[in-house]
């Protein structure tokens, strides 16, 4: 018999990691693996479903967060701002005309009268903007009312008819097609100014107004005072650069009883243009543009304050032009030389009104065209 030189295997039953137990584990895992692999497609479907469900839930969560943060508004605006061509905006010969109306709003004795009226011409070719303010007392014979009442009567005739009727009336005065309209509620206008931290306004002349109406006291009997002094407050503005919050800016543009030249509607129109220009500069400043929280607050305030027929894409394009035209904005007030004030008479309902000097708007049409074309000697 031959001698077996192979080494003997020693089994230690006290050894926790014994080969027998190890083999049993391998056998168990091998059987489990075979069983699982028989159903590989089930496992794959289960894993795929888990991934899809996870992605779906993640997108839902991100979508909700994005919607609440308002990011979609800005991404859509940015898309239109960058990619939408200028020819998508209504225009004539590359010029878009916008009517800007400012109404008193809540707390004002005549909330729907538009005492602020401007025509803005946006030139797409030169990226320039021209503003022309119109006196509120222009007489509109077809409607037997002043220009500042047209918006009110238009809304009385038809829902949202005020802006349409105002645009049509202004077209006759300026001789230019009015493509869009904006109505600013001044009760919310001061909120916009406060959101951006106030504005810097260049006050051209010092003035005092001792009869600025106090909101809510229009019918106050003032304890029998025959002059009703309690209905008014005195406001003062000094010449030079002044920082104004919303309330102060509102008083600055509304004041109409100052002594001297600042007491005219023409002076008030010029002050309104200064405030709008100052607000534009502030809104387009770096600390506002790069502040998402401030932009969201502005968006909400503007939605509460504005009525307009400008769609989102057109607004983005016009905004692009406005940014380009920061140093190319010309401001004008319709010249008194082109208007006359007739005597009080039943023909004008015994009101203080302005009519065209030559009995039609021909001279005004020529002047507006000259101003919009940026010619000299207009």
Please give the mean pLDDT across all residues of the chain. 81
pLDDT digits (tens, 9 = 90+) for 10-69: 444 444 555 555 566 666 666 655 655 555 555 565 566 666 666 555 555 545 544 444
Structural element, H or E, at residue 198: none
Binning pLDDT at 50, 70 and 90, where does residue 330 land? Answer: confident
List, in order, residues 6 or more apart from 295 with CB less than 8 Å away.
Answer: 74, 288, 289
- What's the Cα-to-Cα distance from 204 to each of 4, 242, 271, 289, rounded to whole Å? 119, 10, 9, 29
Structure tokens at 154: 């238009």
Residues 19/26, Cβ–Cβ less than 8 Å: no
Looking at the DSSP assignment, which residues form a beta bridge with residue 240? 203
In this structure, what DSSP letter does residue 359 have?
Answer: S
> Does residue 223 come out as left (phi exceeding 0), alpha (psi in the -120 to 50 range) or beta?
left
The whole-angstrom separation of Cα 179 and Cα 248 is 32
Query: Which residues are 200's β-sheet partners?
Result: 243
Task: Please say whether the beta carbons of 132 and 119 come within 8 A.
Answer: yes
Q: Are 322 and 93 in contact (CB under 8 A)?
A: no
Of the pLDDT bands very low, low, confident and very high (cuts 50, 70, 90), residue 6 is very low
Return d(Cα 9, Cα 334) in angstroms, integer: 114
Q: Provide the whole-model pTM.
A: 0.71
From the list 267, 248, 270, the residue with the least C-alpha distance to 259 is 267
């Amino acid at each position: 018999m031959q001698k077996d030189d192979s080494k003997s295997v020693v089994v230690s039953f006290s050894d926790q990691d014994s080969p027998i137990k190890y083999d049993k584990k391998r056998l168990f895992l091998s059987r489990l693996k075979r069983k699982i692999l028989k159903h590989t497609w089930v496992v794959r479907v289960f894993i795929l479903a888990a991934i899809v469900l996870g992605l779906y839930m993640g997108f839902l969560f991100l979508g909700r967060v994005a919607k609440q943060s308002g990011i979609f508004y800005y991404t859509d605006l940015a898309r239109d701002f960058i990619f939408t061509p200028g020819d998508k905006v209504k225009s004539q010969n590359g010029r878009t005309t916008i009517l800007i109306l400012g109404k008193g709003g809540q707390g004002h004795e005549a909330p729907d009268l538009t005492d602020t009226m401007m025509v803005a011409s946006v030139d797409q070719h030169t990226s320039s903007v021209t503003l022309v303010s119109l006196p509120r007392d222009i007489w509109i014979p077809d409607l037997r009312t002043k220009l500042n009442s047209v918006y009110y009567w238009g809304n009385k005739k038809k829902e949202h008819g005020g802006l349409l009727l105002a645009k049509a009336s202004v077209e006759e005065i300026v001789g230019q097609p009015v493509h869009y309209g904006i109505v600013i509620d001044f009760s919310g206008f001061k909120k916009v100014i406060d959101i951006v931290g106030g504005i810097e306004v260049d006050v051209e002349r010092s003035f005092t107004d001792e009869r600025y109406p106090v909101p809510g006291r229009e019918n106050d009997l003032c304890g029998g005072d025959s002059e009703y002094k309690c209905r008014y407050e005195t406001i003062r503005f000094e010449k030079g650069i002044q920082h104004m919050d919303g309330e102060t800016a509102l008083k600055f543009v509304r004041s109409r009883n100052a002594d001297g030249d600042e007491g005219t509607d023409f002076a008030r129109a010029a002050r309104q243009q200064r405030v709008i220009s100052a607000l534009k500069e502030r809104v387009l400043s770096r600390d506002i543009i790069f502040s998402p929280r401030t932009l969201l607050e502005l968006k909400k305030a503007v939605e509460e304050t504005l009525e307009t027929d400008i769609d989102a894409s057109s607004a983005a394009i016009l905004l692009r032009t406005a940014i380009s035209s920061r140093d190319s904005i010309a401001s004008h007030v319709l010249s008194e030389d082109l208007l006359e004030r007739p005597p009080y008479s039943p023909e004008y309902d015994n009101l203080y009104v302005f009519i065209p000097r030559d009995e039609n708007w021909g001279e005004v049409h020529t002047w507006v065209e000259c101003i919009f074309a940026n010619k000299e000697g207009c």
